[in-house]
Amino acid sequence: KLEFFFPSILFLGLLGLIPFSMTWIIFRPEVTGLLFFITGFWLLNSAFNKKNIHIYIIFGSLFIGFTPTLHPLFSIISFFSILGFIIHFLKNKELFKSFLISIFSIIPILILVTYFLLSDGYIEVIKGQIPLTTNGHRAIFGLIFRLLDFDINWTVGVLKIYYLIYLSIIFLAVATIIISIKNYFINTLLFTRYRINILILILSCLFTLIISFDLIYIHATISVLLLFAIISLHQEKINIYFMNTKKLFKFFILILLFLFPFSWSSINFAKYNLKENNYLSSWDLINELESFSNRKINTFVVAHQLAPLVIEKLGKPDNYNAYWLFPSVGQIYRPKNEIERINK
């Protein structure tokens, strides 16, 4: 029945309100990390009810173990989630299953560390990225400062709709923790294994927001995990509510969820058409790059996110005059003065 799948539909629809990038050409590893983590989390939770439990444990542990290798943002979340599953098996005196989770979750990290040690240059990249974790606001405070930063320009101010969505999800997560603690003192039987694993996920996400640096994709990634946890924790109540609603209202909700993923594209489409001179169309950029391919024109690439597109459209770097105005490792240098940028 449709009601049985509604929590999944709700989760996928609400993802449309969480843009992973504020520009059209960014490629980020967090999306793959989310896919791996949610898949692994589901496999490990499902393992308890399956006959081939060891297969679920192995693949679930591997999927979660891979996430820190994709981005360190997942380090705390994956560590505490794996630790929760290990402790549960240890409490049931299932040592072999705890051993499987420990070994297969750490294999991806060992492979990555070995690769770093045997390769040149990657240590310098890590050293260059370390200041990002220590400078500036923490993520949770940075989100608040973004909302308090008043801007009369509607094309910038409209982004605060998404900041409010991130903050609302955080409030829901905190409320979920408080209500769960209250229910624990009322009836300890409510704290099932599944509920405990979800609460560990929520707490580790909130802790990550407190210690992580403030970047918009941090909020997007954590918001997805919190949204996943909240919906998973209340999926039975969501199913009951959806079953008891009228068909017309069900249809309205489903249409709304279907339209949510178009929100970010709609806003950018409106901004571009209302103030066309202020924004560069992605198609214009692609056409310009394609027209360069047959000419020796000096091309200045000022953002590392554009590198894959430039290389794809122009071919090998030796075939054209390209100047990459950002460092090869570490933090991207973005001087405010344009002359200083060119000199760098």
Q: Quick one: pLDDT band at residue 336, thresholds 50, 70, 90?
A: very low
Strands 321-324 and 298-301, sheet pairing:
parallel
Burial class (CB in 10 A: 0-12, 13-18, 19+), 260: middle
Query: What count of other Cβ atoms lies within 10 Å of the Cβ of residue 212?
Result: 22
All residues at 6 or more sequence positions from 164 whose CB lies less than 8 Å from its CB, including other chains: 147
Which tops the pLDDT comparison, 147 or 106? Answer: 106
Q: For the whole model, what pTM was predicted?
A: 0.78
| Average pLDDT taken over every residue of the chain | 79
Which tokens in the block code for residue 228?
């996943």
Contact 263, 162 (CB under 8 A): no
Residue 8, pLDDT above cutoff 70: yes
Report helix, strand and coil shares of the chain as percent, to nearest 5: 75, 5, 20
Bigger pLDDT: 134 vs 274: 274
Give dist(CA 248, CA 232) in Å, integer: 25
Measured CA to CA, the distance from residue 200 to residue 81 in angstroms comes to 6
- In 10 A of CB 20, how many CB atoms? 17
Give the tens place of pLDDT for each residue, 108-165: 999 988 887 777 666 666 666 666 666 667 888 888 887 777 665 655 666 777 888 8
CA–CA gap between residue 232 and residue 151 (Å, rounded): 37
Record the tokens describing residue 55, joined without a space: 């297969």
pLDDT mean over 9-35:
76
Nearby residues of 283 by Cβ (< 8 Å), 6 or more positions away: none
Tokens encoding 327 = 């460092």
pLDDT of 247 above 50? yes
User: What's the per-residue H, E or C state across 24-93?
Assistant: CCCCCCHHHHHHHHHHHHHHHHHHHHCCCHHHHHHHHHHHHHHHHHHCHHHHHHHHHHHHHHHHHHHHCC
Distance CA 101, CA 82 (A): 7
By the 8 A CB rule, do 37 and 283 touch? no
The answer to whether the CB of 65 falls within 8 A of the CB of 109 is: yes
| Model pLDDT, residue 115 | 82
pLDDT category of residue 61 using cuts at 50, 70 and 90: very high
Does residue 55 surpass a pLDDT of 50? yes
Residues 81-90 have pLDDT tens digits of: 999 999 988 9
- Which pLDDT score is estimated for 241? 85
